[in-house]
Structure 1
Amino acid sequence: MNRFMGSVGLRTYLLLTSLVSIAAILISLFVSYRKMFLTLDELIWLTLVTVGAGILSLIVHLIMTRPIERAIDMISKESQQIAQGDFRGELPLIGPVEFQAMAVHFNEMSRQLNESFQQLRSSEASRRELVANVSHDLRTPLASIQSFVEALQDDLIEDPDTYKRYLSTIRLETQRLSGLINDLFDLSRREAGAESFEPEAYHLDNLIVETLQSHLLQIEDKGIEVEGHIPEGLPPVSIMPNEIKRVVSNLLHNALRHSPEGGKIRIYAQMPKDGFVLVTVEDQGEGIAEEEQVRLFERFYRTDHSRSRASGGSGLGLAITKSIVEIHGGQVGVSSQLGKGSEFWFTVPVVQR
């Protein structure tokens, strides 16, 4: 019986239920006639009424169950589409109120699944790009080190100055490789939440001055004019000083790398707004295209202008910067136009008194 019921549709199931009810009524009438509870005329009359009501009930069932059957059929087809990875369909709001509510929830589920799969596809594309970039950035210094070491091993270099230059190049490439690995390890720890967060009250003017002093040689080598502006009465901020110093250092390093000889860099802070201080580093570099700005803070992403080995940079500095700022509850961003320089900014919270 269960196997039979499992092979029929809902509409047939409801019609069979109506027919069973009518048959039960007719059997009751026949038994009543045999027991002399009804006369023959009463039996005929009641039988006609029952059959007529049954036919009318069947017609009503056919009409009323049509929207339900359509709704179930559409849900089934959309479920098959979802199973095949197509989330573009949407169920219409037809049938009883319960089926309309089901359609609303089904459409919401389909939309959320579509968003989840889009994120998965995007993550997979980013993972492939990350692996390709890591492979490139690791292979290049390793190949350079290998070629120079082989030249030294084969005794091809006899000039002492050239010998020292080769050793110096090997050391620089080794430092570059070590820096890249350290940055990767650091970023992985931060994204995994392994870094403890212990902020303290600190003044930004001291932090910015200390960061500028650590870049003094680079600033003088390029003849860059640095202008700083910290408003008087700027309240202390709740930060981990070494971490935020790294943020300022990363932004300043980028500004120095992309600024022309004899250019100008501005570092300034603005009074708190909504409990956060805004710090901006402005340069006079080549600028960044609008379509590239949204990806600047991704791991290993670099604009075409800075992708060459000569310009340096592992592509992890801005990703680490974003991670540090977000740990502090702030935000980071960029505003730039091609040929008009760039403004990188971040926010840090004020100490709550």
Structure 2
Amino acid sequence: MKLRLYLLIASGVSTGMILLSLFICYRYMLLNWKDVVLLSTVTVGAAGVSMLVHFVMTRPLEKAIKAITQETTHIAEGDFKGKVPLIGPLEYQRLAAQFNQMTAKLNESFGKIRSAEASRKELVAHVSHDLRTPMASIQAFVEALQDDVIADKPTFERYLQTIRLETGRLDALIQELFKLSQLDAGGTEFTPELYHVDHFLVDGLQSLAFQLEEKEMQVEVDLPERLPPVAIMPQEMKRVLANILDNAIRHSPVGGMIDIRAEHVTEQFVKLSITDQGHGIVEEDKERIFDRFYRSDPSRTRSSGGAGLGLAIAKSIVELHGGTIGVDRNKATGGGGSQFWFTLPVHQA
């Protein structure tokens, strides 16, 4: 039975009981029949008007319930984009508002699930490709060595060197995947310690000294005279700095310049900026440059472009510290090059 019909029947029964009671009262008041008929007619008319008003007033209730029912059907079919109109009494409007809020959260949650599923498929595809390439190379060189087709020692040594490099590349990829999965699963506990920014930069640059010398690059560091210590996990943040510097070195020309600047932007954060002289980042790549396995230039090979996990790991580590990370075009050189930046939390005494 529909709610509206149910309410009308309930109203009719209550009105009938009132009419019956009034009719009995009229008879026992020793009124003549003409007066009883007159009073009964007025009472019935008032009851009819009351039921008509009740019929009209319950129509918004029926529409509100019908709208919610239709929307629940859409949700059951997987459509979370609809909204229930805010009609009817205040209580029904509040119910509709809560229902719309629930639908929006469901749509957001399922959107994240679909995005995560797409990312998982993309991850599997990229990992398979990145693993297959060095594995195929290793297998081919090992088979050549086993078949004794290599007669001269220099070629033999070169094959061994290639196998060593491909094995190292596999190990680096596996370590990056392990680190990324550990960060995604929340398996890295945030245990910061006091650290000075100048020591942090010196340690990071020393680890890449060979690459800098190989490309004959210069590094200019600009630090304020007074810079507060930061609260970081040194090994994790050094990985962030190393990943960004490695990208800057890889994409900068031979003999280029890398500019590193630090500034105390707020009471809570210190900002580090690393500017290179490479080709720069196009606007449409800025939003996805920190996605795993994303390469702004699809034609880049694994040897020149890395596995595409470094910046994704860097973003996860910076966010673990409560900071932010981003990239802009290098405006100082007229648009050439990129400026990566991230924030470090200031140590609170």
Structures share fold, TM-score greater than 0.5: yes
Residue number among 340, 344, 349 corresponding to 1:344 in the alignment: 340
* 1:274 aligned residue: 267
2:98 corresponds to 1:129? no
- Asked if structure 2 preserves the Cα contact closer than 8 Å seen for 1:269 and 1:279, the reply is yes
Alpha-carbon displacement from aligned partner over 1:205-253 (angstroms, at most 9, x marks no partner): 1221222222222111111122122222222222222222222111111
Q: Describe the superposition over 1:101-120 as per-residue Cα deviations: whole angstroms up to 9, x where unpaired.
A: 22222222222222222222
Residue 10 (structure 1) aligned with residue 6 (structure 2): no
Q: Are the aligned partners of 2:295 and 2:305 in contact in 1 as well (CA < 8 Å)?
A: no
Aligned to 2:246: 253
Q: 1:193 to 1:73 in 2, by over 3 A?
A: closer
In structure 1, the gaps of 5 or more residues are 1-7
SS for the counterpart of 1:286 is: coil
- Deviation string 1:111-158 (CA, Å, 9 cap, x unpaired) is 222222222222222222111111111111111111111222222222
Normalising by structure 2, we get a TM-score of 0.91
- RMSD over aligned CA atoms reads 2.3
User: How many Å separate the matches in 1 of 2:18 and 2:191?
Assistant: 81
Aligned to 1:4: none
User: Residue by residue, what CA displacement relative to the aligned partner does 1:38-60 show, whole Å, maximum 9, x if unpaired?
Assistant: 55615434432332222222221
The answer to whether residue 47 in structure 2 is matched with residue 48 in structure 1 is: no
| Match of residue 80 from structure 2 | 87
Q: Distance in 2 between matches of 1:335 and 1:106?
A: 41
Greater shift, 77-86 or 143-152, is seen at 77-86
CA distance in 1, matches of 2:25, 2:210: 113
Structure-1-length-normalised TM-score: 0.90
Identity within the alignment, %: 57
Q: Determine if the alignment matches structure 1 residue 237 to structure 2 residue 230.
A: yes
For the residue of structure 1 that corresponds to 2:258, the secondary structure is: strand
Q: Which moved more, 1:320-329 or 1:131-140?
A: 320-329
What do the CA deviations read for 1:14-65 (whole angstroms, capped 9, x no partner)? 221122123323444566688x565561543443233222222222122212
Aligned residue type for 1:60: V
Q: Secondary structure of the residue that 2:85 maps to in structure 1?
A: coil
Q: Decide whether aligned partners of structure 1 residues 66 and 301 sit closer, same or farther in structure 2, where only a CA change above 3 A counts.
A: same
Equivalent residue for 1:146? 139
Partner of 1:300: 293
1:331 alignment partner in structure 2 = 324
Among 82, 91, 97, the residue aligned to 1:104: 97
- 2:263 alignment partner, SS class: strand
8 Å CA contact 2:321–2:345 kept in 1: the answer is: yes
Q: Is the 8 A contact 1:22 1:50 kept in 2?
A: no
User: 1:175 aligned to 2:174?
Assistant: no
What is the one-letter code of the residue matched to 1:340? G
The answer to whether the 8 A contact 2:267-2:346 is kept is no
Give SS of 2:243's match: helix
Equivalent residue, structure 2, for 1:291:
284
Assess if the C-alpha contact under 8 Å between 1:207 and 1:241 holds in 2: yes
Which secondary structure state, in structure 1, belongs to the residue aligned with residue 280 of structure 2? coil
What is the distance in 1 between the residues matched to 2:213 and 2:95? 69
> What is the number of equivalent residue pairs in this alignment?
345
What CA distance in whole angstroms lies between the structure 1 residues aligned with 2:290 and 2:343? Answer: 15
Q: 1:160 aligns with which of 143, 153, 156?
A: 153
CA displacement, residues 76-122 of structure 1 (integer Å, 9 cap, x when unaligned): 22221222222332233322222222222222222222222222222
| Conserved? CA contact 2:271–2:343, under 8 Å | yes
The letter of the residue matching 1:343 is: Q
The 1:318–1:72 alpha-carbon spacing in structure 2 relative to 1, beyond 3 Å, is same
1:56-71 alignment, distance < 5 Å = 56-71=49-64
**Once the 2 structures are TM-superposed, how far is the Cα of residue 256 of structure 1 from its aligned partner?**
0.5
Kept after mapping to 2: 8 A contact 1:299/1:319: yes
